[in-house]
Amino acid sequence: MEPLADTSTLDMYGSQSALRPSGFGASMTYDLTLVMTVFFGVVFVFVMALLVFAWRRETPAGHWWVWSGGIILPVVTIVTLMTASTAILVASTRSDDQALVIDVTGYQFWWDVVYDPDGIALRDANELVLPADRAVTLRLKSNDVIHSFWVPSIAGKMDMIPGRINTLTIRPQEPGRYRGQCAEFCGLSHPRMAFEVVVLEPEAFDAWLLTTQGEARDMARPELLDGKQVFIDEGCSACHEIRGVAEGGRLGPDLTRVGARASLGAGMWRMNQGNLAGWIADVGDMKPGAQMPSYNHLSGPELRAVSAYLASLK
C-alpha cells in the first residue's frame, strides 16, 4: 500500500499552494503579497543605500531626512498598505445573498459536508465539489476540538470552533482539483486531516448535484450483496450512513459515494478496494488515532466482499 504523501499525489490532488491562486480570495492575497514584497524590497535597497551614504559622509544628514524618511514616508506607506489589505480582507470574505451554502464540520480527523443544508441537504464527506465562478458560503463548524479549514489555492484559512459557526465566502475561479488541509493542530492524526476540492464548470456542478442526490447505487452482483450484508451485520451503520441502506449514523464519514472519492481516510490513501480492505482490517495502522475500531476478526471473503461493496458506491 502506497501512501498518497509522495510526489505522485500532487497530480492527483491538484495544487495546495497559496502561490498558485485559483480563487477570488487567494488571488487578491497573492497580488497584495507581490505588491508588498516588491515595495518593501525597494525600501530595503533604498535604506541600505542611505546607510552606506551615511557611513561615507563626514557631516551628519539634516533633520529633513529624519522627517521625510523616518516619519512621513512610513506613515503614508503603512496607512496605504493597511487600507489595501483591509479592503481585500473585507472584499474576499464578503457574503453574497445568491451564494450556495455548504456546511462543513470538522471531526477528528475528517470532514462532514452538507450541500444546501436548508434545501436539499445533500450529505457527503472528505471531498468538496464546488462550482467555478459562483459565490459559495461555507458555514464552518466543529464537532470536537478546534480545526481550521484551509484550501490555500482558493482562499485564506478560517478556524472551525466548537459551538460556533464561522462563515467564509469563497469564489473558486478555475475548474480543477485542489487540496485542502486542516490548519490547526487537532490531535494525533491532524496532519492526516486533508480533503480534495473538485471545482467544476457551473453546469457540470448543477448536474453533479442532481445525480448525487438520492440513494446509494445498488448493483445486484452477488459479491456486492454479500458486502452490503457484512456492512449491516457488523454494525458499521452505527457510525456510517449509506443512503437507502442504513441511515442516521453520523460519527463517521457518509459512505453513500465513498468509492467515487479520489482518496481514502481524508486525503491519506488512494481510494481502491485493496486500501479499503486494509483500512477496515487495521485502521490504526493506516491512520493512527482514527476514531474507528479495527475489524481484524473479519474473514478474508468478508473483507473482500465489504471492500468491493464500498468501492462500488460511486
Binding residue count for Cu ion, defined by CB under 5 A: 4
> Could you say whether residue 240 binds ligand HEC (CB under 6 A)?
yes
Among 123, 147, 179, 304, binds Cu ion (CB under 5 A): 147
> Could you say whether residue 231 binds ligand HEC (CB under 6 A)?
yes
The least CB distance from residue 173 to ligand HEC, in Å, is 27
Site for ligand HEC in 41-80 (CB under 6 A): none
Q: What x-and-dash track marks residues 93-132 binding ligand HEC by CB under 6 A?
A: ----------------xx--------------xx------
Q: Which residues contact 184 (CB under 8 A, 6 or more apart)?
A: 146, 147, 148, 159, 160, 190
The least CB distance from residue 40 to Cu ion, in Å, is 33
Q: Which C-beta is closer to ligand HEC: that of 168 or that of 303?
A: 303
Binding residue count for ligand HEC, defined by CB under 6 A: 32
Main-chain dihedrals φ then ψ at residue 289, nearest 5 degrees: 85, -5
Q: How far is CA 156 from the centre of its chain?
A: 11
Q: What x-and-dash track marks residues 282-311 binding ligand HEC by CB under 6 A?
A: -----x--xxxx-x----------x---x-
> Could you say whether residue 159 binds ligand HEC (CB under 6 A)?
no
Q: Which C-beta is closer to ligand HEC: that of 32 or that of 239?
A: 239
> Could you say whether residue 287 binds Cu ion (CB under 5 A)?
no
| Nearest one of 133, 143, 221, 228 to 182, comparing CA atoms | 143
The residue range among 20-28, 116-124, 144-152, 212-220 that interacts with Cu ion, by the rule CB under 5 A, is 144-152
* Residue 147 contacts residue 154 (beta carbons within 8 Å): no
Give the span between the Cα atoms of 139 and 112, in whole angstroms: 12
Conformational region of residue 126, where left means phi above 0, alpha means psi within -120 to 50, and beta covers everything else: left
> Could you say whether residue 136 binds Cu ion (CB under 5 A)?
no
Among 140, 276, 277, 311, binds ligand HEC (CB under 6 A): 276
- Match 464552518 to its residue by C-alpha cell: 140
Q: Which C-beta is closer to Cu ion: that of 147 or that of 171?
A: 147
End-to-end CA distance of the chain: 22
CA–CA distance from 218 to each of 70, 238, 243, 244 (Å)?
72, 20, 11, 9
Give the span between the Cα atoms of 138 and 149, in whole angstroms: 10
| Nearest one of 181, 214, 179, 197 to 131, comparing CA atoms | 197
* Residue 106 contacts residue 184 (beta carbons within 8 Å): no
Q: Interface residues with Cu ion (CB under 5 A)?
A: 147, 182, 186, 193
Residues that bind ligand HEC (CB under 6 A): 109-110, 125-126, 189, 231, 234-236, 238-240, 251-253, 255, 258, 261, 264-266, 276, 279-280, 287, 290-293, 295, 306, 310
